[in-house]
Amino acid sequence: MDSDGPTAAKPNVSRYMQGTEVQSWSDKLRHRWRLWLIVTVVGLIGIYYLSGRSTTDSATTAAQSGQHMIVPVAAVPATVGDLKQYIAAIGTVTAYNTVTVKSRVDGELDKVNFVEGQMVKAGDLLAEIDPRPYQVELTEAEGTLAKDLATLENAKITYARDKELFQQNVLARQDLDNQEATVGQYGGSIESDKGAVDNAKLQLVYSRITSPITGRVGLKLVDPGNIIHATDTTGIAVITQLQPIAVDFSIPEDDLPNLETAMKANPQLPVQAYDRDLKHQLAEGTLLTTDNQIDSSTGTIKLKASFPNTDNALFPNQFVNARVLYNTIPGAILIPSAGLQRSQQGSFVYVIKPDKTVEMRPVTVQATQGDVIAIGKGLAAGDLVVTDGVDKLTQGSHVSVQTAAIPPQSATP
Claim to verify: residue 363 and residue 343 sit in the same structural domain: yes
User: Confidence band (pLDDT; 50, 70, 90) for 179?
Assistant: confident
Q: Is residue 399 part of a domain?
A: yes
Strand partners, 351: 359, 385
Whether residue 224 has a cis bond before it, omega within 30° of 0: no
Task: Count Cβ atoms below 10 Å from residue 283 Cβ, excluding itself.
Answer: 21
Q: Could you give the CA distance from residue 94 to residue 363 in angstroms, rounded to a whole number?
A: 45
Question: Is 83 within 8 Å of 329 (Cβ atoms)?
Answer: yes
Give, in order, the Cα–Cα distances in Å from 1 to each of 7, 10, 87, 189, 357: 10, 15, 133, 193, 111
pLDDT reported for residue 166: 84
Mean pLDDT of all residues in 85-109: 95
Q: Residue 117 — φ and ψ, nearest 5°?
A: 85, 5
Would you say residue 409 has pLDDT above 50? no
336 lies in a domain? yes
Rounded to 5 degrees, what angle do the CA atoms 231, 233, 238 make?
A: 125
Asked if residue 74 and residue 50 are part of one domain, the reply reads: no
Residue 351 lies in a domain: yes
Q: Which is more confident, 226 or 38?
A: 226
In a domain, 44, yes or no: yes
Residue 339's alpha-carbon distances to 83, 344, 363, 372, 379, in angstroms, are: 17, 17, 11, 10, 12
Last residue of a domain, one of 44, 67, 90: 67
- Looking at residue 48, its pLDDT comes to 57
User: CA 334, CA 406: separation in Å to the nearest integer?
Assistant: 12
Residue 70 has pLDDT above 70, yes or no: yes
Q: What is the mean pLDDT of the chain?
A: 85
Q: Order the strands of the 107-112 sheet from edge to edge.
A: 208-210, 125-129, 107-112, 227-228
What is the mean predicted confidence (pLDDT) over 359-376?
Answer: 91
Statement: residue 67 has pLDDT above 60: no
**Same-domain status, 337 and 378:** yes
> Does the structure show a pLDDT above 50 at 63?
no
pLDDT digits (tens, 9 = 90+) for 141-166: 999 999 989 998 998 898 888 888 88
Q: Are residues 76 and 17 part of one domain?
A: no
The reported pLDDT for the residue numbered 10 is 45
**CA-closest candidate to residue 320, choices 44, 88, 137:** 88
Residue 36: what pLDDT? 67
Examine residue 284 and state whether it is found in any structural domain, yes or no: no
72: which residues sit within 8 A by CB, 6+ positions away? 389, 399, 400, 402
pLDDT at residue number 168: 86
> Domain containing 78 — which CATH number?
2.40.420.20
Predicted confidence at residue 411, as pLDDT, reads: 46
**β-bridge partners, 119:** 216
Shared domain check, 348 and 397: yes
pLDDT at 52 over 90: no
Average pLDDT over residues 155-182: 87
Q: How many domains does the chain have?
A: 2
Of 221, 222, 231, nearest to 106 by C-alpha is 231
- Label residue 23 by pLDDT band (50, 70, 90): low
Amino acid identity of residue 68, one-letter, is: H
- Residue 405, pLDDT > 60, answer no
SS3 sequence of the chain:
CCCHHHHHHCCCHHHHHHHHHHHHHHHHHHHHHHHHHHHHHHHHHHHHHHHHHHHHHHHHHHHHHHHCCEEEEEEEECEEEEEEEEEEEEEEEEECCEEEECCCCCEEEEEECCCCCCEECCCCEEEEECCHHHHHHHHHHHHHHHHHHHHHHHHHHHHHHHHHHHHCCCCCHHHHHHHHHHHHHHHHHHHHHHHHHHHHHHHHHHCEEECCCCEEECCCCCCCCCEECCCCCCCCEEEECCCCEEEEEEEEHHHHHHHHHHHHHCCCCEEEEECCCCCCEEEEEEEEEECCCCECCCCEEEEEEEECCCCCCCCCCCEEEEEEEEEEEEEEEEEEHHHCEEECCEEEEEEECCCCEEEEEECEEEEEECCEEEEEECCCCCCEEEEECHHHCCCCCEEEEEECCCCCCECCC
395 and 367 housed in the same domain: yes
The range of the structural domain enclosing residue 15 comes to 11-67
Higher pLDDT, 203 or 34: 203
In a domain, 370, yes or no: yes
Rounded mean pLDDT, 342-352: 91
Considering the domain architecture, whether residues 60 and 77 belong to the same structural domain is answered as no
Report if residue 27 sits inside a domain.
Answer: yes
Is 76 part of a structural domain of the chain? yes
pLDDT tens for each residue of 213-247: 999 999 999 999 999 999 999 999 999 999 999 99
pLDDT at 131: 95
> Distance between CA atoms of 223 and 54, rounded to whole angstroms?
99
- Count of CB atoms situated within 10 Å of the CB of 129: 24
pLDDT tens-place string over residues 285-328: 999 999 999 999 999 999 999 999 999 999 999 999 999 999 99
Are 78 and 26 within one domain?
A: no
Tell me the whole-structure pTM to 2 decimals.
0.66
pLDDT at 34: 66
